[in-house]
Amino acid sequence: MAEIIRLENLSKDYEEGGQTHTVLKNVNASFEEGDFVAIRGRSGSGKSTLLNLLAGIDTPTSGDIYIDGVCVTRLRPRDRTLFRRDHIGFVFQFFNLIPTLTVLENVMLPAELAGNQNGGVRENAMGLLEKVGLINRDDTFPDKLSGGEQQRIAIARALVHNPRLVLADEPTGNLDDKTGDVVMQLLSQMTHEVGKTLLMVTHSHKVAQRADRVFEMQDGQLVTSQVVG
């Protein structure tokens, strides 16, 4: 498999109360296309910080991130935003659906923002809704859905613009165990069957067991925890 993510000497510091706190310290790692990677660690260990750096939402103190051969850390802010829009899908813990848009409109939004205005976007979105089992809720608003249903919609939204990379930040953290199992099975299946790379942060050992590779965030470093399968 081809390499899709490479981290080179990645560090992130924060200033707080006149003191410097190092969250990530010279992290080096690479992930291959089609990998399902889980990153575990205690609260505040840097898991979400790493995800935000990969997404281009935040910038590192030093070091570089390469995604699909592009050094995203050296892009101008607008170019980073456009790269994220076109190449990355994001699944959040709290769903982040837009309450004034219907289910279908929420799913279609990333593709429309990427400039795809043709009828194929609607067809693709409806196909994804069918895969997540919610095609009959296309004209429903998010507040009428359960948490598990909202997260299934968020998965469809993350995939609608056909990103190479999907980032998931505690995607089951706001769900009960049974619903979380359903969501994780769906997320794993929908990314694997089309060859997406899925990088997920989670505190749950059970959720991490579904991944191909598992890492722990320890003292600002990524440490291999286990290899599954």
Higher-pLDDT residue of 112 and 153 is 153
Which two three-digit tokens encode residue 58?
């935040």
Dist. CA 170–CA 96, nearest whole Å: 13
Dist. CA 67–CA 71, nearest whole Å: 7
pLDDT over 80 at 172, yes or no? yes
The model's pLDDT over 44-103, given as tens digits with 9 standing for 90+, comes to 788 889 999 999 889 999 999 999 999 999 999 999 999 998 899 998 888 889 999 999
What are the chain's domains? 3-98+164-227 (3.40.50.300)
